[in-house]
Amino acid sequence: MKVLIIEDEELAIKKLSKTLESVDASARVVGTADSIKGSVEWLEQNPAPDLILMDIELADGQSFEIFNLTEVKSPVIFTTSYDEYALKAFKVNSVDYLLKPIQKEELQSAINKFKTTQANTASGINIESLVKELQSKLQPKEYRKRFLVKHGQKLVSIETNDIGYFYSDGRLNFFKTGDNKKFVVDYTMDELEDMLDPQRYFRISRSFYVSIASIEKIDDYFGNRLILQLKPLVDKEALVSREKVTDFKKWMGK
């Protein structure tokens, strides 16, 4: 089995080559490339290998760009440091991936899968469509940086980082800033979910979004819920609903 390794760290290439040989005696590394440019040149100047082990992040960009610049005729196993959640599409599309640091057992499993599946191009997998989908998943999401709201007879722009929490009174939605100013916000709580950075804000109930910086105290509350003391003070109870408690605790512990 002829293998091309696309990886920009020399030590990683050596380790991967050694691990590959230990899991498959027939495996032979026929080439390496450490950049998008070098990979395209290698693929255009050499016969297609049986398999490509391709790191996603290369020195000159994401390796997905290789697919835009030349025809990739070989099946690919991606290697990456990205978390598993972002990469579920690999598994369901019969294209595999390995999380770094690469373990021998995981590489063995990926090689076995490759052998049983054979070439992705022969199995009807649209590599080009998959790569575009993965690129969109891996691009960092842009979250709302500011909100334009009414203040008296004028409009003012409020930085999202200055907002302690969002909440609803059943009719209108509001947010409060760190200096205790209250504004009406013209978005539903569901719409806010796509706008707010989940590392910073958590939806504790249907009517409350809190920033981690606004939480001063957490207490147990009846019904297996939690009650939060927020800053600035809020004019209604900030309760973490029972079904949100487990996820809330995980969020607080990150």
Residue 29 β-bridge partners: 3
Residue 244's domain comprises 146-252
Q: Based on the fold, state whether residues 209 and 240 are members of the same structural domain.
A: yes
pLDDT digits (tens, 9 = 90+) for 47-97: 999 899 988 888 888 888 888 888 888 888 888 776 554 454 454 333 566
Q: Based on the fold, state whether residues 99 and 184 are members of the same structural domain.
A: no
Enter the pTM of the model.
0.50
pLDDT digits (tens, 9 = 90+) for 147-158: 999 988 899 999
Strands 225-230 and 215-221: antiparallel
Quote the Cα angle for 176-182-185, to 5°: 85
Question: Which of 138, 163, 184 is at the close of a domain?
Answer: 138
For 238, the token pair is 């900030």
Question: Which of 138, 154, 184 is at the close of a domain?
Answer: 138
Instruction: Tell me how crowded residue 127 is: count the other CB atoms within 10 A of its CB.
Output: 17
